[in-house]
């Protein structure tokens, strides 16, 4: 539905747009011992900047709220404390100063990636005679650099300098190794669940669905429970007795190990479809932001989902629109797989990476 045009105030000088920020304040428990490192890594992955001890900031957006709320649930589940605040300003920082700090941080990330690519290209140039035998390793390096670039670009909220240099270097690297042979695909061994137990059920998740909840709901209705109904509760304690909670902290169908909820559902119900596996890479990269797969579709899909969240305030219709998006992606990936034949997919690459 097209929103109604905003009524303009006559004779009013245009005021500069006021930014809004999200603050994440936390206190970590003394145990488990790795909670501090996990929290720090997660804050780095989502692009948050520290403004005071244990106080981090992100530009306010549905994705940022999702990231902070998930981290808050993890910290509280480990016995710590965390809060998320929305603010028009951040202590003594001006909006311009914060934007510049974000830009400098991402520029430093781009510079680091560029330097490492240049170093590898120099070494490849000095070993041209060995290039044929080293082609598989060069492909792995290229894939790793692409993943790192995608991770930096995803949290480059204000268009930092240095991006174009990395793009040019990646193109140069790709041309250098373009004659290497592709990898063969392997199949995962799923941990099947009883589908009959989960038919005709009410599935509940947290409000304001994002990428993992949208994709998981689509997967549930497409492959697990065609008659699934969906509802929203604040946490697992608020779920009706007969409901199946998903993508919540501490539930069976949620994040486990290094998997997002979508991947957990694929494993538990034995969904091995090639197009679904490719979708899993997109969902994982967007949800966990750990640059594991470098799915090229992820930034565009993320932007569309953020637009859906901004456009639709009703959770039920927002989820349905998200499910429609993933049905469209699935059909496109399925057709691509039929045309191209067997091809490496995100999950398969991850399994091989885990064995190295």
**210 and 348 part of one domain:** yes
The encoded tokens of residue 42 equal 């997660």
Q: Which two tokens stand for residue 3?
A: 């929103």
Determine contact, residues 248/234, Cβ cutoff 8 Å: no
Judge if 203 and 349 occupy the same domain.
yes
The residue with greater pLDDT, 80 or 256, is 80
Question: What does the angle CA 128 – CA 134 – CA 136 come to, to the nearest 5 degrees?
Answer: 135
**pTM score, whole prediction:** 0.55
Domain boundary among 110, 144, 176: 176
Bridge partners of 58? 22
The pLDDT of residue 101 is above 80: yes
Mean pLDDT of the region 247-251:
82
Characterize the bridge pairing of strands 202-205 and 229-232.
parallel
71 occurs within a structural domain: yes
> Beta 21-27 vs 55-59: how paired, if at all?
antiparallel
Q: What is the pLDDT of residue 31?
A: 85
Lowest mean pLDDT among 4-13, 162-171, 278-287: 4-13
Report the run of H or E that residue 100 belongs to, with start and end. helix 95-126
pLDDT confidence bin for 355, thresholds 50/70/90: very low
Instruction: State the pLDDT confidence band at 292, using cuts at 50, 70 and 90.
Output: confident
Least confident piece of the model among 175-184, 208-217, 323-332: 175-184
Instruction: Check residue 183 and give its pLDDT.
Output: 38
pLDDT of residue 193: 56
Axis-axis angle for helices 298-311, 315-340 (nearest 10):
160
Residue-level pLDDT at 108 = 95
Q: Are residues 249 and 207 in the same domain?
A: yes
Write out the residue range of the structural domain in which residue 232 sits. 195-355
Specify whether 243 is located in the same domain as 312: yes
Return the biggest CA–CA distance within the chain. Answer: 72
Please tell me whether residue 81 adopts helix, strand or coil conformation: strand
Query: Looking at the structure, do residues 80 and 109 belong to the same domain, yes or no?
Result: no
Residue 8 within any structural domain of the chain: no
Report the range of poorest mean pLDDT among 9-23, 37-51, 224-238: 9-23
Q: Which two tokens stand for residue 207?
A: 């409000």
Most confident of 73-77, 196-200, 216-220, 252-256: 216-220
Whether residue 243 lies inside any domain: the answer is yes
Distance, CA of 177 to CA of 163 (rounded, Å):
22
Q: Are 257 and 343 in a shared domain? A: yes
**171 and 37 in one domain?**
no
Average pLDDT, the chain: 82
Report yes or no on 204 lying in a domain. Answer: yes
State the Cα–Cα distance between residues 265 and 260, nearest whole angstrom.
Answer: 9
Determine the average pLDDT of the residues in 204-232. Answer: 95
pLDDT band at 184 (very low <50, low <70, confident <90, very high): very low
pLDDT of residue 30: 87
| Banded pLDDT at 220 (limits 50, 70, 90) | very high
| Calpha distance 210→166 (Å, rounded) | 29
CA distances from 241 to 204, 231, 346 (A): 11, 13, 36
pLDDT over 50 at 286, yes or no: yes
In this model, does residue 212 exceed pLDDT 60? yes
Which CATH number does the domain housing residue 30 bear? 3.30.70.240
One domain, residues 136 and 77: no
Q: Is residue 350 part of a domain?
A: yes
Domain boundary residue among 87, 108, 131? 87
Number of domains in the chain: 3
Residues 203 and 278 in one domain: yes
pLDDT band at 251 (very low <50, low <70, confident <90, very high): confident
In a domain, 7, yes or no: no
Residues 6+ away with beta carbon under 8 Å from 1: none
Taking 50 as the threshold, does the pLDDT of residue 10 lie above it? Answer: no
The answer to whether position 190 is within a domain reads: no
Instruction: Identify the domain boundary among 87, 119, 140.
Output: 87
Same domain, 211 and 287: yes
133 and 30 both lie in a single domain: no
Interatomic CA distance for residues 23 and 57, integer angstroms: 5
Mean pLDDT of 69-94: 89
> For residue 23, with 0-12 CB atoms within 10 Å meaning exposed, 13-18 middle and 19 or more buried, which class applies?
buried
**pLDDT of 12:** 42
Inform me whether the pLDDT recorded for 152 exceeds 50.
yes
Task: Say if 281 falls within a structural domain.
Answer: yes
- Same-domain status, 338 and 219: yes
User: Which structure tokens are listed for 68?
Assistant: 């902070």
Highest averaged pLDDT of the listed ranges 117-131, 145-159, 275-289, 338-352: 275-289
């Amino acid at each position: 539905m097209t929103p109604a045009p905003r009524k303009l105030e006559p004779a009013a000088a245009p005021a500069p747009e006021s930014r809004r920020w999200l603050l994440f304040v936390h206190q970590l428990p003394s145990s488990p011992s790795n909670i501090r490192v996990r929290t720090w890594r997660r804050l780095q992955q989502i692009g948050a900047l520290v403004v005071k001890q244990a106080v981090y900031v992100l530009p306010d957006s549905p994705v940022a709220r999702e990231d902070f709320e998930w981290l808050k649930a993890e910290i509280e589940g480990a016995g710590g404390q965390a809060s998320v605040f929305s603010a028009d300003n951040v202590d003594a920082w001006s909006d311009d100063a914060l934007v510049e700090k974000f830009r400098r941080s991402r520029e430093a990330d781009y510079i680091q990636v560029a330097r490492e690519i240049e170093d590898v290209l120099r070494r490849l140039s000095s070993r041209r005679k060995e290039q044929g035998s080293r082609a598989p390793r060069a492909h792995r390096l290229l894939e790793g650099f692409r993943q790192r670039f995608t991770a930096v670009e995803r949290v480059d909220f204000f268009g930092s300098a240095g991006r174009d240099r990395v793009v040019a270097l990646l193109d140069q690297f790709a041309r250098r190794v373009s004659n290497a042979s592709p990898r063969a695909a392997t199949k995962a061994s799923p941990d099947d669940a009883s589908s009959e137990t989960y038919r005709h059920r009410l599935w509940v998740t947290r409000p304001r669905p994002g990428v993992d909840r949208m994709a998981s709901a689509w997967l549930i209705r497409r492959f697990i429970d065609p008659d699934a109904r969906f509802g929203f509760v604040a946490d697992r304690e608020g779920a009706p007795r007969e409901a199946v909670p998903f993508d919540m902290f501490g539930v069976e169908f949620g994040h486990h190990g290094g998997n997002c909820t979508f991947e957990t559902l694929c494993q538990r119900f034995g969904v091995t479809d090639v197009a679904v596996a490719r979708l899993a890479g997109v969902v994982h990269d967007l949800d966990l932001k750990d640059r594991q797969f470098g799915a090229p579709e992820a930034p565009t899909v993320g932007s569309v989902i953020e637009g859906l969240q901004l456009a639709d305030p009703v959770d039920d219709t927002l989820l349905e629109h998200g499910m429609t998006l993933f049905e469209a992606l699935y059909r496109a990936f399925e057709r691509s797989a039929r045309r191209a034949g067997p091809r490496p997919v995100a999950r398969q690459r991850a399994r091989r990476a885990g064995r190295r």
